[in-house]
Structure 1
Amino acid sequence: MTITGPRNAPDVVDVVALGESMVTFLPSRPGRLADVPSFERGIGGAESNVVCGLAAAGHAVRWVSRVGADGFGDHLVGAIGSCGVDVASVRRDPARPTGVYFRTAGDRGTDAHEVAYYRAGSAASAMSVANVDLTVVRAGRVLHLSGITAALSPECRGLMRELVARRPGGPLVSFDVNHRPGLWRDTDGPQVLLELARHCDLVFVGTDEAEAAWGVTGGPEAVRAWLPEPRVLVVKDGAKGATVYQRGKGEPCRPAAGGGGPVALPGPASPSVTFVPAPSVTVVASTGAGDAFAAGFLSATLRGLPARDRLRHAHLFAAATLTAPGDLAPPPARGHADRLAALDEAAWGRLRLGPGWTQAAGRADEEVRTP
């Protein structure tokens, strides 16, 4: 799977991401929201997390969204822009606020974890085909989207359907299912997510999401049987690892934005399946790890790396976030990640990553040790 495109075309970047980002309030100590006395401000948003990770890895990226004409909107645009992301296409909405949310310090996957969203009627929920510059959104070699945007409003769902529709001049469309049951006010959320995923070129989904949304059990193979349409399907299976399914050469692909040649997704000569186990990681916080995983896979894809290395880079980007307290963490330097991705199978299996590992470049005794 190789992405080619009009690298030198005006305003064309490697990746464009569209979606809502919110100001996040992180607790000053563990405990229930009712008991936490104070919070620290951060930022959170699946799509902006992905492009922030890609920018840190040296890619040209753009974030497209809407925020309120308020201080929280100022903070979001400034913080994401400071990561090296082009935010010139973010629009201000004077009538709607920037979304915010509060969360506890616990793991999102536990019953004790709490999240309180204040995003209903937000500026981003009003994104639509009518008020988003589709030319700017499509001016990338890759367009990255997630299922969260589709859950925000009927207008957002219409925009998502427009963006995933196959038409000449469109970028490669990457889609992270990101099933969030609490965001859907009706019961057709799983069907909408399935519809969108089936129209995309590259799809990320977890086995847990596939089971929760669609009742698919049986592991990655069952997920691929359920989703045969994407040219590339990445199925995440928690701490076990991830599997990438690629269709073979000779199938049609989208032309690149700007008419500069095809976005090639040739893959291998015949359909292939590649599994890469996740390294052992000392987890500090899991929020944002899925976004980092997508950023790592896209970064390696833009570089034309083989399937195994794409998954290894995805795991390494995710590990950088898992071993840091916030939603965003700098990925390992490219040379450092490349050295780890090139390890033989035995050495990769011995990899142990803990807090600070991204700063251990060149210190193999800290990166790889035998249990």
Structure 2
Amino acid sequence: MIEPFRIDIPQADLDDLADRLARTRWPNEVADAGWDYGFPLARLKELADHWRTGYDWRRHEAALNRLPHFTTEIDGQNVHFVHVRSPKPDALALVLTHGWPGSFLEFLDVVEPLSRDFHLVIPSIPGYGFSGPTHERGWDTGRIARAWAELMRRLGYERYGAQGGDFGAGISLALGAAAPERVVGVHVNYLPTPPDPDAGIDLSEADEARLDQVRQLMANRPPCQALQALAPQTVGYPLTDSPVGQLAWIAERFAHWTDPRAPIDDDRMLTDVALYWLTATAASSARLHHDTPRGAVPCPVPVGVAVFAHDITRSVRPLAERRYDIRHWSEFERGGHFAAMEVPEAFAEDVRTFFLGLDRRAGQG
């Protein structure tokens, strides 16, 4: 059963948040630390003070409630999603999936332009946000993809596309494998292409440089990812108990994974952080790093790739083409890991171009 959902955080939870922020026990910092030791103290104090005294959750909550929210239970798990129908009754449906440390909020700025041509389904991953914590093992990208297939079936969509970045990319590719007869194509804005010594491909100097970046990332995995993969429950304790801890954990990723020329507004980032805090989903969201197996996700349907210059890694096309049926490839000079938030116009246009192109070809066939 699908039920309407309205965001209504109890005032007591907001009062508790303000009280905890006011009573933060701050660590010291060495002189001229910069980013050498982690998130700078002065910047974090600035964000925490704004969260406590200037940020207005109720204003953002009211704006979010202008979207049509729903919940349903799938495979024993609550699933929250936004469902926006296009004015075009026969429009193709798209399911848009966020990653970590993002949320459905990533897509707020692309709802209007994309809904002109597509019905949009924007779920919260189980264990994240208003989908709430998971309560058993095994909610990996494959299981989430199967839940999305069931969600789209319940909504009555026989044909649809899938889009995602970060974990959302893996979930979208897995959805193409789980329901290839229904998924017309998958568009991703994050597609790791690790070195493949057996590929037998002569790569360009630029592609070799991208592989060097991948090798560096593999050798120096961000501590947050490593800790969440190894001990998500341990990580969950301080993040669920301290709003400043949760803020630092997420804000550091936004600082490192975005294009400095396309900064994300502090209020938008704080709404994302608040979503993790107010739903107490730090530990359950971290479990996705633990439960999801590494390696390429097979996908038999057409794939479109958007590569943004400041992403964690940049895909190497010849290696991607060994695994996937690449029908569309775009390179952008601006934008990073949260492309739908950083450069929404470019992101939306690339998604539109890929799926409308597939839809036209399907119609001609």
| Structure-2-length-normalised TM-score | 0.32
* Greater RCO, 1 or 2 (C-alpha within 8 Å, sep 6+): 2
